[in-house]
Amino acid sequence: MNKKHGNFKDKVGVKNISNEGLIMTIIDCRGSEDIDIEFEDGTIVYNKTFSSFNKGSIKNPNLRKIFAVGYIGVGVYPIKRKGKII
């Protein structure tokens, strides 16, 4: 192992919070470019980078996306022409 990159086996068990607000834990580390992550709901993602883990940018594939306003295509939308509601 190249000493420049350090010993990444020591990173197993490290926790971080993703940008989605979920706790993620490193469960296996084969180097800085190949780590496995487990989310708090038990979902495991493979072959991620340590820098993505630190940034919190690893996404949970089982997390549903719901828009803050509602689902696209549901509801009544006003029609506007030249800035005025018709």
- 53-76, pLDDT tens digit by residue? 999 999 988 876 654 554 455 555
20 by DSSP, 3-state: which? Answer: coil
Per residue in 33-55, pLDDT tens? 899 999 998 999 999 999 999 99
Q: Where are the beta strands (DSSP E) in 10-53?
A: 15-17, 23-29, 35-39, 44-48
pTM of the model: 0.65
Report d(CA 49, CA 34) in Å as an integer.
Answer: 6
Longest dimension (CA), the chain: 69
